[in-house]
């Protein structure tokens, strides 16, 4: 979903060309995969759900003992400045915070903060759904948006081989999430259900849980692969995908293999929300 | 255990001062924690168990779809050259291979390879043992030496708070490993037991499993926290620690709280092995 990197990035508050900006090899992201991030889009110069994203960013940082020098309001000023410098009102913006330059390659140091942007156009709702394959995996530190995408990227060749678009994790048969998106199923009682535990608390997921649509009950509770087989629709949510239908899971078609009625209704309501 | 970084590092085959060597921020280690490494020591100019380490390094790389440009013999030439450049015959050497400069921050690119050294003196056997605390965690992709130390580093403040030295992972009560060392227990039948599954196949562990000592049965099989409580000795193995006794686990003293007889015998045999 992501396209070109923007011209400038911010590394520890300094504007640097994204092409040449770097971190020293002692940084704990390179040494130990240690760091957190958050990612959000802007539409026509407005960062979408920015307070939710920043709240999660500070939460992730605190969980991992990483101190953020800036207060949220100061961070917003930096984000705005970078958007203007890059002349990119429509972008995906990522704030990464790493474990810093560790003296011994293990213990935490003062974090390094990198802010990068990529041109990104908010996608229109697409009737054609994603093909998912399931894989047993529970993300560690599930509520923290860590740098850890080892399993997801390791699985990419398998996803491609099977003609799929992405992977859907389950833990001992209990549904969890996709590597970069939350997952929802819709059952025949018009219940819209997303897993409650062992997942990243997605910002779009949170907004969908708040939608109010007549005749729909939108809830969070854990459910199994077995229950998933009884669903009539399924979709994923993320900042890049908004609400995107799921057309098949492990080769089995969901509903009619394209966006169902409930998914379309939710997507319409959500589109209004971010346009508003 | 690690001390000062050496003067030079090798980044994609080029000697660069370790102080200023860097990777661009698009590298997948910084973006997604994606990469593998291996670490080994040299004593008086000789890399210890180098073939085992390189075998594991190539195995880790293959599992993660990372291509190593060099054949093992070529890699050994680079290692030797770096050792000479750094004038460090006694060192810990680390080869890191990352996911490379990804165009979209997600899909794999041509890997970046970094070789770093730190001065390191092979430690003499220490009678005083490590204090461990247990924590429920199963490392993902356990047989791959990935960059992922998120849990280990996140737990460091807890380890310190409890006056411990390191953490010992278990998965649903089945013993696994320490973040940077394998774990062994010795029972009252003089069986020396190390977990068989869900662990990194440590190079020192492998050597210990090959030791032949009269009256000792050294085996790999899984065992539980419950069984661990019946042990008379425990120790860990790693390239930096060799064989190091464990004096307590979760505050409960193991044996007499210092190196037991079996641990000392094994450590003596192991010292002869790496001196030979």
- Cβ of B31 within 8 Å of Cβ of A96? The answer is yes
User: Residues of CATH 3.20.10.10 domain(s) within chain B?
Assistant: 130-275
b/e sequence B215-241, b meaning 16+ C-beta within 10 Å? ebebebebbebeebeebbbbbbbbbbb
> What are residue A40's DSSP bridge partners?
A93
The candidate with the shortest Cα–Cα distance to B242, out of B262, B263, B219, is B263
pTM of the model: 0.97
Tokens found for residue B61:
């790389």
Give the CATH number of domain B8-119; options: 3.30.565.10, 3.30.470.10, 1.10.10.10, 3.40.50.1970: 3.30.470.10
Report strand pairing: A166-171 vs A130-136. Answer: parallel
Q: Are B64 and A158 in contact (CB under 8 A)?
A: no
Interface predicted TM-score (ipTM) of this complex, two decimals: 0.96
Q: Are A56 and A142 in contact (CB under 8 A)?
A: no
The candidate with the shortest Cα–Cα distance to A157, out of B138, B105, B66, is B66
CA–CA distance, A167 with A156 (Å, rounded to integer)? 8
Report the pLDDT averaged over residues A129-141: 98
Give the CATH number of domain B130-275; options: 3.40.640.10, 3.20.20.70, 3.20.10.10, 3.40.190.10: 3.20.10.10
Find the Cα–Cα–Cα–Cα dihedral B216, B222, B228, B230, rounded to 10°: -60
Report the pLDDT averaged over residues B106-123: 97
Which residues are CB-neighbours of B1 under 8 A, at least 6 positions away? B120, B123, B240, B241
- Cβ of B153 within 8 Å of Cβ of A108? The answer is yes
A31 pLDDT higher than 90: yes
- Cβ of B20 within 8 Å of Cβ of A22? The answer is no
10 Å Cβ neighbour count for B19?
13
Report the pLDDT averaged over residues A8-33: 97
B198 pLDDT higher than 80: yes
- The structure tokens 């760091």 sit at A35
Which residues are CB-neighbours of A276 under 8 A, at least 6 positions away? none
Tokens found for residue A158:
């398998």
Mutate to test the interface with B, among A29, A108, A119 (most CBs of B within 10 A): A29
Report the pLDDT averaged over residues B127-154: 97
Mutate to test the interface with A, among B25, B149, B165 (most CBs of A within 10 A): B25
- Cβ of B150 within 8 Å of Cβ of A5? The answer is no
**CB-nearest partner of A5 from B9, B11, B26:** B26
A155-192 pLDDT, tens digit per residue, is 999 999 999 999 999 999 999 999 999 999 999 999 99
Which helix H or strand E contains B46, and what residues bound it? strand B46-47
B11 pLDDT higher than 70: yes
User: Residues of CATH 3.30.470.10 domain(s) within chain A?
Assistant: 8-119
B156-188 pLDDT, tens digit per residue, is 999 999 999 999 999 999 999 999 999 999 999
Arithmetic mean of pLDDT over chain A:
96
Report the pLDDT averaged over residues A215-233: 97
In angstroms and rounded to an integer, the radius of gyration of the C-alpha atoms of chain A is: 19
B199 pLDDT higher than 50: yes
Report the pLDDT averaged over residues A121-143: 96
Determine the residue of chain B that is closest to A16 in CA distance.
B25
CA distance A247 to chain B (A): 23
B201-217 pLDDT, tens digit per residue, is 999 999 999 999 999 99
Q: Where are the beta strands (DSSP E) in A99-199?
A: 113-119, 130-136, 166-171, 174-175, 182-186, 191-194
């Amino acid at each position: 979903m992501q396209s070109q990197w923007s011209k400038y990035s911010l590394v520890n508050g300094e504007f640097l060309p994204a092409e040449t900006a770097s971190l020293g090899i002692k940084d704990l992201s390179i040494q130990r995969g240690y760091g957190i991030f958050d990612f959000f889009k802007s539409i026509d110069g407005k960062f979408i759900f920015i307070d939710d994203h920043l709240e999660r960013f500070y939460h992730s940082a605190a969980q991992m003992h990483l101190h953020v020098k800036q207060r949220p309001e100061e961070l917003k000023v930096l984000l705005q400045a970078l958007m203007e410098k890059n002349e990119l009102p429509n972008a995906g913006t990522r704030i990464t915070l790493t474990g810093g330059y560790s003296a011994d390659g293990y213990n935490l140091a003062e974090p390094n903060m990198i802010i990068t942007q990529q041109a990104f156009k908010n996608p229109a709702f697409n009737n054609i759904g994603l093909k998912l394959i399931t894989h047993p995996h529970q993300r560690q530190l599930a509520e923290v948006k860590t740098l850890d995408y080892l399993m997801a990227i390791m699985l990419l060749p398998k996803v491609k081989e099977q003609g799929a678009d992405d992977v859907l994790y389950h833990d001992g048969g209990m549904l969890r999430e996709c590597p970069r998106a939350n997952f929802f199923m819709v059952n025949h009682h018009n219940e819209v259900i997303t897993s409650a535990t062992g997942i990243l608390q997605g910002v779009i997921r949170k907004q969908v849980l708040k939608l109010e649509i007549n005749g729909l009950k939108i809830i969070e509770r854990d459910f199994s692969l077995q229950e998933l087989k009884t669903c009539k629709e399924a979709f994923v949510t993320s900042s890049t995908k908004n609400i995107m239908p799921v057309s098949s899971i492990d080769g089995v078609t969901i509903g009619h293999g394209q966006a169902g009625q409930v998914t379309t209704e939710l997507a319409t309501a959500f589109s209004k929300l971010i346009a508003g």
